[in-house]
């Protein structure tokens, strides 16, 4: 159970409409948190909100594209009259997956805006009052992509690497102020976004996590920052810390061709 007295009474979940975000919303609502859910698609967003309200908590929704600077103001306006003790940033699924020289610069900037710019803006807004209150939590959802570059995910992987280093630094800054910071590193997870991307889940030896398990494990690890790798992916992370980067990248390219049918790196 996630402690409302430490992290409540309100939680903001950016990317809270489906997959891991929806499971986080469900579990936090079950623990008594009021929620502000943020996502692009109004339909799934409202469905998740209604399911949370059925558990007896208040839920506000903000249908917004986080690559639009106006989204930050919309979220902060929606929370201006409540105390947010938990920020979850789970809105970084878009990768613009293509070689850098073949893609358009605007698409890559969108990856940076979603994974870095908006994350920094929301974290900066909510972390300062948490620090003053000497309690709160910030959970930033990361990815194994941040441990190695691939030919079609150079920008996305770089953005996720930034997120991990940022989380470590923020954890060091806030740990003596009662604010817990965690980057939750996800591997392959059976989410609607990954299914839409055409990812294969039947590759032999592939560890696939379920959203409910990821949400439960992430919330349980919140106080044990700065980084937590979802169970089943620890060995892969260890292999990706090798100093032989050329061999690692070349090997990862072969795996990507199995996971994503149209990967042409």
Residue 26 structure tokens:
């469900």
Residues with a catalytic annotation lie at 156, 160
Question: How far apart, in Å, are the Cα atoms of 258 and each of 93, 180, 204, 262, 265?
Answer: 20, 37, 10, 9, 12
Residue 141 φ then ψ, to 5°: -85, 120
β pairing state of 34-39 and 136-143: unpaired
Q: What SS3 class is residue 261? A: coil
Query: In angstroms, rounded to a whole number, what is the distance separating the alpha carbons of residues 103 and 154?
Result: 11
Token pair listed for 144: 């194994």
As a whole number of angstroms, the distance between CA 86 and CA 67 comes to 22
């Amino acid at each position: 159970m996630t402690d409302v007295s430490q992290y409540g009474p309100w939680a903001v979940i950016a990317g809270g409409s489906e997959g891991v975000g929806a499971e986080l919303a469900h579990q936090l609502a079950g623990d008594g948190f009021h929620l502000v859910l943020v996502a692009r698609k109004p339909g799934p967003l409202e469905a998740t909100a209604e399911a949370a309200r059925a558990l007896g908590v208040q839920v506000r929704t903000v249908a917004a594209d986080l690559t639009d600077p106006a989204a930050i103001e919309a979220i902060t306006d929606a929370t201006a009259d409540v105390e947010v003790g938990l920020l979850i940033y789970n809105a970084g699924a878009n990768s613009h997956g293509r070689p850098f020289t073949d893609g358009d610069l605007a698409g890559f900037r969108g990856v940076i805006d979603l994974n870095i710019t908006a994350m920094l803006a929301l974290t900066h807004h909510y972390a300062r009052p948490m620090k003053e209150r000497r309690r709160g939590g910030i959970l930033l959802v990361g990815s194994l992509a941040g441990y190695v570059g691939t030919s079609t995910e150079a920008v996305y992987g770089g953005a996720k690497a930034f997120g991990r280093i940022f989380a470590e630094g923020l954890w060091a800054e806030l740990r003596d102020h009662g604010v817990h910071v965690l980057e939750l590193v996800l591997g392959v997870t059976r989410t609607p976004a990954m299914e839409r991307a055409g990812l294969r889940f039947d590759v032999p030896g592939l560890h696939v996590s379920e959203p409910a398990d990821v949400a439960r494990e992430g919330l349980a690890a919140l106080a044990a920052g700065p980084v937590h790798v979802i169970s089943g992916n620890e060995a892969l992370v260890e292999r990706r810390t090798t100093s032989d980067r050329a061999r690692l990248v070349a090997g990862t390219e072969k795996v990507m061709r199995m996971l994503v049918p149209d990967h042409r790196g």
